[in-house]
Amino acid sequence: MKEGFRQSMAWLHTWSGLLVCWILLLVFCAGTASYYRNEITIWMQPELHGAAASKVTTEAAATAAQQAMQERAQGAPRWFISLPGERTPATQLGWSKPSKPGEKKRGRRGNFHSEMADPATGDVLSKPRETRGGEFLYRLHFDLHYMSAIWGRWIVGFCAMFMLVSIISGIVTHKRIFKDLFTFRPKKGQRSWLDAHNVTAVLALPYHLMITYTGLVTLMFLYMPSGATAAYKGDQDTFFAEAFPGGSNDRKVSGVAAPLTPFAPLVRQAEQHWGGKVERISVNHPGDANAVITLSRAAGRDMSSKQPSMDFDGVSGRLLSTNGDELPGASATHGVMYGLHIAHFGGPLLRALFFLSGLAGCAMVATGALLWAVKTRQKQAKALAAGKRPSFGLRLVEALNIGAIAGIPIAFGAYFWANRLLTVGMENRPQEEIACFFGAWALVAIVAQLRPSRAMWRIQLAAGAFLFCALPVLNIFTTESHLGVTLFMGQGPVSVAAFDLVVLVLGLGLVYAAWKLKPLPTKAVKTAAATKPAAPAMEAA
């Protein structure tokens, strides 16, 4: 640590940010994309683009869904129904398949079946290609992948804590934090990178603080279980039951067959009680005398992620309990913190603002990593001018910067391209798409380690630019919902056209970055080398 409080904070800011910046960049990129995970999933299932959402009431959609489930999910222990809404044009039906005696367990998702249905009739829509869609990106930003979810969350939480320390120490370090918001001096080497880092950090500073802190709060029972463990003597079930009270859906199956009451009157009663629409219906033990129907309200404009629900007797339709109308203080606070993080309460404009703030966070992390490399290269300028090789640390950071900053867009592009190019009926298709994501990223990261240079930056940025810019063109040859149809003819979901336009804009940004890294003129390099030996190295950095 350096002498003086501000100098110590500057040291802490540098190293707490650098050590985890590459994982943080992945988390920020995937988390930013998650604001539109529903829209991403819709884009990645083009078979559903031609099915326009029917303008039906919630009651009619629930009735059609009930009839469809009774026909297709006989004997299932649980039903799950997601009714259509602003961002989901179709009804989603899901049920747990009953286990057969001696049948081998097929994992968490192996016994679950889901279908997309027409809201008006309940008829199965054209079976879409299997994909994790935006859900993969959502889980990636806090679970990572190819490891235990618990380990992934510990790693992300560790990095998030470093991020919080880096933000607070950065605020302390800045003497002119508000002036930095309006200061950017291009083509000034290290000064320009510092200005870019300051602008992207200060511009969305409230968002950065909020998203980092609430991200830690959402998993606080994993990171800090000691309080609940000590108070409840290790009985976590009792703790969660009291802190987050549930409903009456813990009935045991009776074994006595009984018909299920119609959904429509229950939906009407719930919507009158809440003054809002029902979004989800779940049924425990359908067809049994102890069946329980749970209705959950659609997300509104309240900040809490905990939407109220109502439990009804599955045979008589009698109201058993209402949950979430008045939550205990701790549960309500946790719901607001989690709601702030996922921003389901936001309309289109607020969601777009969160998305732009997330992009600013990506730029903040990336410019911070680049700034360290630029400063270190400047310190080693004399040695580099004398023909010595850069230090191991500098070369490693520069290679990791290329692999992360230029490599992550390539990974995203490969994921979307795989969705269009892989055979629709391929076995384990979702996992193959994910393998393309990580395979492309691993390849470019390894290549970057071999030669971390200005030319490598340009090649990888150009590759990412091609994947993004050519994606709308790829749609012309692989789907019937390309921009010519969705934008100019006004057919298909608006979100499909919006996705194509956003990736096109991001691709053009990568084109500009690759163009800015065009080779320096030979004459200019020789002149700079004769007058100021460190200039070419700094310019390349």
Indicate whether 110 belongs to any domain: no
Indicate whether 343 belongs to any domain: yes
CA distances from 206 to 162, 203, 269, 345, 356 (A): 17, 8, 40, 18, 13
Indicate whether 148 belongs to any domain: yes
Indicate whether 218 belongs to any domain: yes
- Written as six digits, the tokens of 141 are 């930003």
Q: What is the domain range of residue 344?
A: 1-51+131-245+328-348
Rounded to 10 degrees, what is the CA torsion of 173, 176, 178, 181?
Answer: -90
Q: What is the pLDDT of residues 210-219, one digit of tens each?
A: 999 999 998 8
Q: How many CB atoms lie within 10 A of CB 193?
A: 19
Give the phi and the psi of residue 537 in degrees, each rounded to 5. -65, -40
Q: Pick the residue with more confidence: 116 or 40?
A: 40
Indicate whether 23 belongs to any domain: yes
Indicate whether 37 belongs to any domain: yes
Residue 322 CA, chain-centre distance (Å), reads: 31
Mean pLDDT calculated for residue range 133-156: 93
Distance CA 451, CA 30 (A): 27
Q: What is the pLDDT of residues 291-340, one digit of tens each?
A: 999 999 988 777 888 888 999 999 999 998 888 777 777 788 888 999 89
Q: How many CB atoms lie within 10 A of CB 500?
A: 20
If pLDDT is split at 50, 70 and 90, which confidence band does 114 have?
confident
If pLDDT is split at 50, 70 and 90, which confidence band does 66 have?
very high
Q: Give yes or no for residue 21 having a pLDDT over 90.
A: yes
Q: Are 274 and 297 in contact (CB under 8 A)?
A: yes
Domain count along the chain = 1
3 state DSSP class of 85: coil
Indicate whether 84 belongs to any domain: no
Q: How many CB atoms lie within 10 A of CB 287?
A: 20
Mean pLDDT calculated for residue range 27-36: 95
Q: Give yes or no for residue 68 having a pLDDT over 60.
A: yes
Indicate whether 187 belongs to any domain: yes
* Own/partner long-range contacts of 501-504 (Cβ < 8 Å, ≥24 apart): 503/416, 503/468, 503/469, 503/471, 503/472, 504/468, 504/469, 504/471, 504/472
Q: Pick the residue with more confidence: 372 or 104?
A: 372
Paired with 156 in beta bridges are none
Listing from the earlier edge strand, what are the strands of the sheet with 112-117? 112-117, 91-96, 78-82, 278-284, 292-297, 309-313, 319-323
Q: Give yes or no for residue 400 having a pLDDT over 70.
A: yes
Q: What is the pTM of this model?
A: 0.85
